[in-house]
Amino acid sequence: MANVVHIMERYEPGSGLKKALSQSRQDVIRTVRESGIKGRGGAGFPTAVKWNLCAVVQSEKKFIVCNADEGEPGTFKDRLLLAERTDALFDGITIGGYAIGAKLGIIYLRAEYTYMRPGLEAKLAERRTSGLLGTSILGSGCNFDIEVRMGAGAYVCGEETALIQSLEGNRGEPRNRPPYPVNTGLVGAPTSVNNVETLIACAHILAKGPEWFRKFGTEASTGTKLLSISGDCKKPGVYEVPWGISLADVIDLCGGEGAKAVQVGGASGRTVPAAQFRRKLGFEDLATGGSIIIIGPERDLLDVAENFLDFFVEESCGQCTPCREGNPKLLEGVQLLKHGKCSIGYLRELQGLGRTMQAASKCGLGQSSANAFLDITEHFRSEILGRVSERGQGSGAREQGRAS
């Protein structure tokens, strides 16, 4: 299949790291800049810019944090990478640490992935023995170590400032930015937070060169992207594709023919209707952390909206009003729609509320939690309006009983 590539597959352990340590820190950052790579965690901030901002701050203490909180609904590529691309990941973290001048790297692993911790720790121990971690790595004079820290079950802790709060032993409530973590991060020290996939890609870039990386993808979205594909398709799983691939081609890949919509980017992403399947994945149009959920022809899109809003009501940290109050209102609205009890006027008000949440929420959670609601109520009006009340009953009743 022309659309599947495997550039993140073969990696000689230590190869990228060796190259990095033989160069100056500035040259490492230059190589990453030339590759054009942007963050794979969702926000798409250029990795070299982030590293450079961290590198230029004078500070005794700096940190590089690998964001392994992977909580976006429909995302599982980091799980695979943590289990099967461990060498490249640890190389990537070490390279980043060297580039910014950190002595410690921290992997923030979500509590749901606790079963992976022993494997990661064992690999770290191995690397200490073989000189890839610890004092004077590979005889370079560079000292660096990596530790694993656990999350405790909170989606919002994937947001980088909430993640830092959590590492500091606080509630995972996002902070105002600025100051950015690159200046004032973990315990006040400059901190670079990078996604698992980003760090692995950087190890490959160092090993094989930026031109090699740029051969894949588009001008503004270089390289490849791992997609986590699930939902109504014959072949769900993790796929590596070049940026710029169309949704139609993604559907072909995974056997999702007949889909009426695709959820791109998870619960916080966009609901793209079939009429727009020519749209392309990439920072030019549909940016995504890689979650692709195929929504088959039989699905009720109000069930989809309800499931996501349940999620956001539960996971909102409650710190700011638009998100704390807005999500329950939208959820209630979906339930009214399901029961055929929502006037067009009220729907319009809810859509206005959704846009206010996008504009006025403090962090990415509240800024994106209305996306699916807005997309579904815009693109699927004939399906959601004027329902006879029986239809809504019994399907997708709200689940109670999640832990405190």
Ligand X SMILES: Cc1cc2nc3c(=O)[nH]c(=O)nc-3n(C[C@H](O)[C@H](O)[C@H](O)COP(=O)(O)O)c2cc1C
Asked if 236 interacts with ligand X (CB under 6 A), we say no
Please state the three-class secondary structure of 325-349 as a single string. Answer: HHHHHHHHHHHHHHCCCCCHHHHHH
Give me 319's structure tokens: 């710190």
- Residue 311 is a binding residue for another protein (CB under 8 A): yes
Quick one: which segment of 37-45, 53-61, 130-138, 290-298 binds ligand X (CB under 6 A)?
Answer: 37-45
Taking CB within 5 to 8 Å according to partner kind, which of ligand X, ligand SF4, another protein, none is near residue 362?
ligand SF4
Interaction of residue 173 with ligand X, rule CB under 6 A: no
- Interface with ligand X, residue 105, by CB under 6 A: no
The residue among 41, 74, 28 whose CA lies nearest residue 198 is 41
Site map 236..255 versus another protein, x via CB under 8 A: xxx-----------------
Please tell me what DSSP assigns to residue 140. Answer: S
Q: How crowded is residue 172: how many other Cβ atoms within 10 Å of its Cβ? A: 23
Among the listed residues 66, 93, 63, 60, the one whose alpha carbon sits nearest the alpha carbon of residue 78: 66
Paired sense of beta strands 63-68 and 191-195, if any = parallel
- Return the range that interacts with ligand SF4 (CB under 6 A); candidates 99-107, 211-219, 271-279, 360-368: 360-368
Degrees to nearest 5, angle at CA 130 with 150 and 9? 70
Of the ranges 80-88, 94-102, 120-128, 359-367, which one interacts with ligand X (CB under 6 A)?
359-367
What is the rounded (10 degree) CA torsion for 343, 349, 355, 357? -110
Q: How far apart are CA 51 and CA 47, in angstroms?
A: 6
Q: How far is the CB of 43 from ligand X (least distance, A)?
A: 4
CB of 383 to ligand X, least distance (A): 28
Residues binding ligand X (CB under 6 A): 39-43, 45, 67, 69-72, 156, 158-160, 193-195, 198, 363-365
Residues binding another protein (CB under 8 A): 70-76, 78-79, 110-115, 149-155, 166-172, 187, 228-232, 236-238, 263, 267, 293, 296, 299, 303-304, 307-308, 310-311, 314-315, 317, 396, 399-404
